[in-house]
Each structure stands twice: as structure tokens, then as C-alpha cells.
Amino acid sequence: MAKVALITGILGQDGPYLAELLLKNDYKVYGLMRRYSNPNFENLDYLGLTNKIEFVEGDLIDEASLMNIVKIIQPDELYNLAAQSFVGGSWHQAKLTTEINAFGVLYLLHALKTFSPTTRFYQASTSEMFGLQHVGGYQDETTPFHPRSPYGISKVYAYWMTVNFRESYGLFTCNGILFNHESPLRGIQFVTRKITDGVARIKAGLAKDLHLGNLEAKRDWGFAGDYVEAMHLMLQKSKPSDYVVGTGDNHSVQEFVELAFKYADIPDWKKYVVIDPRFKRPAEVPVLRAKAAKAEKILGWKAKLSFDKLVKMMVDADLKRYNAK
């Protein structure tokens, strides 16, 4: 019989890539979305998936809606990708970020324990939990947490609640501690997509400059399409566990900028980039770099798309969007 999966965050970046993977594996896929006056199916449409998903309406801050959905669907696998995921915005909406990212996870876990205790649960944890912590420049499953934003703090709560329901009630729960992953479906506020969109606008004559914050921050950037494979693999193992997922390589925001301008064939990026204090953060995470040896050994997972190819893929997609080539 076909397996049933419920994905929260189905309209975001990762939701559509994961849905594509599960549909290819013959799953029936339910997608949880909030109520909108005007829903945006752009990312699912981009992959041609909108008509293949069974949508259910609910909200991570509405516990009763989650209880009902879990009770009715009783999925084999639940992937919790929904979140207020923008770190920069989490200082301005700290309470909402906490309600969605922290309490929302408690509500989901409680719903599973009550109505569907055999469901396998994936929690979208993040390298932002490490914040300032690293050993020799890397972070792995043994690295302590030192989150630097309300977002990172909310995710630490969710991480431990996910572990706690495993240890207290024997639920099959996994944390994927994912490092930054990007794609043409990335939200426009995140720095990679902001850069590729900005470059395409400049190329199309729609913008004269690109305002950015800290160009020195370093991130371990991979491709979202590769990372959803790791999520799925975690829930196929015989025992639940927590895994770091990343490429093992990192680059600065400036390196991303240089490459994006190069691929768009715009010489001298310095003529266009304006350093704007509005995009600097009250507390920065300066360097992230994964040591994903556990994922490689136990899941057989490794990032496939290189940094250069990722930047090119995103630049090409945005140039196409603006018909700027």
C-alpha cells in the first residue's frame, strides 16, 4: 500500500522539493497550509506539483487544527518544515517566531502521541542553533548550542522537545540539523536569492544597485533538492536519531556576490553593491561549516551540487524570470 506523508510548510522552499521526491516514490502527499485570502502556489507550480498535493488547512499556532488533522490522516511520516524561518525578522517578531517554531512543534508532537504514535516525525532543525560554537571551524552532532537570534533559540526548544518525545514516549522522531540550502525557490529575503534576483534586475535594467549587510559572514551553502533526500532517508532507518546535513565547505557572502555578477556577465560588482546598515543583524553568526560524517556513514548521504553550480543555477533562473539574457 502507498505510504502517506504529511508535509507542513508545503508552500515554502523545501516543501515542494520534498513533495516531488515523495511523489516519485509513490507516496500520497498531504500538505498543510495556513488560511490565506490569496494563497501563493508559485513554488509548487514551478515544479508542476500543485494538482498532485492534497491540501489541508491548519496553523502551527492553532493546536486544535493540528490535533484534528493528525487524527484524520494518521500519516506514516510527518515532515515538519513549517516555520517563521527568516533569522533577520525574528528580532522584530520574537514572540510569533517562538509560538510557531517552538510551541508549534510541541503541539505536533502532542498530537502524534495522542492520535498517531507510530507516525515517524522529522523536525527541521538548523545550524543556527550552533551560532557561535564550533570546534576547529566545524559543527557536528556533538557541538554545543549557542544560538544568536530569537529564531535560533526557538529552534533549540523544538530540537529538545523532539528528542524528549523520543526519550519519554518512544516516538520515532528525528532532528535534521540542516545547514543553509538554497535553490531558485528560495524566499526573496534570504541573501542568496536576494543577490541573484538583484543581479537579474540590474541586468534587465530594472535596478541600479543592490543593498546588502555583512559581506564577511560565511555559510555552508548547498542545494535544497539534495537536502530533502537526507530528510527522507532519516525516516527510513530502523532507529531514530539526529543528523547534521551540509556540504562541509563554506563561502562568504562576498564570494557569492562575486560569482553571481560573474555569471550574469556584469563586470565590477563593487559599482553596484551598497553596504546598508539596515541589513546588519544585532548579533551575527559569523561562520558555519558542517561536518556531516554521521549522515554520510549511516544514511549514505552526501551533497551533490557544488557551490559554483548552485550559484549558476540560481542566477540563470532569475535571469530567465526577468527575460534578461
**Binding stretches for ligand NAP (CB under 6 A):** 8-9, 11-15, 34, 59-61, 81-85, 100, 124, 126, 178, 180-181, 187
User: Of 121 and 221, which CB lies nearer to ligand F7E in the complex structure?
Assistant: 221
Active site residues: 126, 128, 151
Residues in contact with ligand F7E, counted by CB under 6 A, come to a total of: 22
12 binds, among ligand F7E, ligand NAP, none (CB under 5 to 8 A by kind): ligand NAP
Residue 219's nearest CA partner among 300, 312, 284 is: 284
Contacted entry of ligand NAP, ligand F7E, none for residue 87, CB cut-off 5 to 8 Å set by kind: ligand F7E
The site partner of 100 among ligand F7E, ligand NAP, none (C-beta below 5 to 8 Å per kind) is ligand NAP
Strands 218-219 and 251-252: antiparallel
Residue 102 amino acid letter:
A
Cβ distance to ligand NAP smaller for residue 202 or 230: 230
Pick between residue 61 and residue 204 the one whose CB is nearest to ligand NAP.
61
Q: Which residue has the cell 528525528?
A: 174
Angle at 68 between CA 64 and CA 74, to 5 degrees: 135
In angstroms, give the least distance from the CB of 79 to ligand F7E: 15
Residue 176 sits at the vertex; the CA angle it makes with 22 and 140, to the nearest 5 degrees, is: 145
Q: Give the one residue of 33, 253, 257, 305 binding ligand F7E; rule: CB under 6 A.
A: 253
Nearer to ligand F7E, 87 or 292 (CB): 87
Check residue 60 for interaction with ligand F7E (CB under 6 A). no
Burial class from Cβ neighbours inside 10 Å (0-12, 13-18, 19+) for residue 261 reads buried
Which of ligand F7E, ligand NAP, none interacts with 235 (beta carbon under 5 to 8 A by kind)? none
For 122, phi and psi rounded to 5 degrees?
A: -110, 125
Does 281 contact ligand F7E by CB under 6 A?
yes
Q: Output 118 or 189, the one with its CB closest to ligand F7E.
A: 189
What is the rounded distance in angstroms from the CA atom of residue 275 to the CA atom of residue 281? 13
Select from ligand F7E, ligand NAP, none the partner in contact with residue 9, using the beta carbon and a kind-dependent cut-off of 5 to 8 Å.
ligand NAP
| Residue 260 interacts with, from ligand F7E, ligand NAP, none (CB under 5-8 Å by kind) | none
Smallest distance, ligand F7E to C-beta of residue 180, A? 4
**Whole-Å CA distances, 122 to 16, 80, 142, 212:** 16, 6, 19, 33
Determine the Cα–Cα distance for residues 181 and 244; give it in Å rounded to an integer.
13
* Residue 48 near residue 91, CB atoms below 8 Å: no
Nearest approach in angstroms of CB 314 to ligand NAP is 13
Strand extents, DSSP E, 145-287: 172-178, 181-182, 210-212, 218-219, 222-223, 242-245, 251-252, 273-275
- For residue 252, list its beta bridge partners: 218
The answer to whether 324 and 204 are in contact (CB under 8 A) is: yes
Task: Name the minimum Å distance from CB 26 to ligand F7E.
Answer: 29
Nearest residue (CB) to ligand F7E, 27 versus 227: 227
List residues near ligand F7E by CB under 6 A: 85, 87-88, 126-128, 179-180, 189-192, 194, 212-214, 217, 219, 253, 279, 281, 284
